Amino acid sequence: MHTITSLLEKIERAKALDFGTIFGESIELFKKTWLQGFLMILLTTIIMLPLIIVLYIPLIGMAIAQQEGGYANSDAFNNFFGGMSILYILFVIVGIFVLGAISVAINAGFYRIMRKLDNNETVKTAEFFHFVKTKYLSKTFMIMLVSILIAIPSALLCYIPLIYMIVPLSFFGIFFAFNPELSVGEIVKASFKLGHKKWLLAFGLIIVSSLLSQIVGYLLCGVGLLFTATFVYHPIYLIYKKTIGFNETSAIEEIGTTVE
């Protein structure tokens, strides 16, 4: 179990990492995890589907009203927005936050699955939901809220601060996945520390990985994006692995601790 002090010390002592090595290892790891990555995208889409339906039902009603009154009739828009109750708006906002928190939890579960596959261990689909529990959901909710509070002001400032924030924001999920005992403030602190330490490397890998996943996905008729979209998670995982590492105990060591 890592403490915030030990995490910060490891980040401070971290050695330089090679872009080509991380990228090459990301491709090799992706060969093991692509199916689980596809399942994560599928699960996230299914979870978000009810909210999407709730959001689009009023829009469909507005489109029908427009057709009946003519496309030039602005009353359709006025009636639509005027008819939206405060209760409906609150429902949508709460839904976004709740489902967003669940998505953060599933992403963290994917990192745990990635670690197991990296170690050639067997995984189960149920492991995606490791953090979809009452004791974790409040923390995933706060992580998502902090991400929004950082990203939106950064985007409003001509997007320049957001370019820097992309890297530390990308580490929120993996720090939570392997250090769920830390407070949200400590997760944010460690993410910014590692993000600042490895910013140029991480930013370059994120951009290249995103572009590559999109190009390959579109070459596969667009459907391929469902399989390649999670490739960007792999450089983040490997940077964390090579900088922080995992508190893993071998089978021999475990036997030694149980035998008296």
- Say what angle helices 86-118 and 19-69 make with each other, to 10 degrees: 150
pLDDT value of position 78: 58
Name residue 92's amino acid: V
Residue 199, in any domain of the structure: yes
Asked, for residue 38, whether it belongs to a domain, the answer is yes
CA distance readout (Å), 150 to 8, 107, 146, 165, 183: 21, 19, 6, 8, 17
Full-model pTM: 0.85
Q: Give domain status of residue 252, yes or no.
A: no
β strands within 78-201, DSSP E: none
Query: Is residue 251 in a domain?
Result: no
Residue 256 has pLDDT above 70, yes or no: no
Domain count, the chain: 1
Chain mean pLDDT for the chain: 86
Distance CA 131, CA 113 (A): 12
Residue 256 lies in a domain: no
Handedness of CA 80, 85, 88, 94 (dihedral sign): positive
Q: What is the DSSP letter of 182?
A: S
> Would 110 be classed as within a structural domain?
yes
More confident residue, 106 or 56: 106
Query: Does 30 score more than 70 pLDDT?
Result: yes
Q: Which two tokens stand for residue 211?
A: 């572009």
Look up the domain containing 212 and give its range.
4-243
Please indicate, yes or no, if residue 258 is contained in any of the structural domains.
no
**Taking Cα atoms as reference points, which of 33, 21, 14 lies closest to residue 204?**
21
How high is the pLDDT of residue 42?
A: 94
Answer whether residue 151 is part of any domain. yes
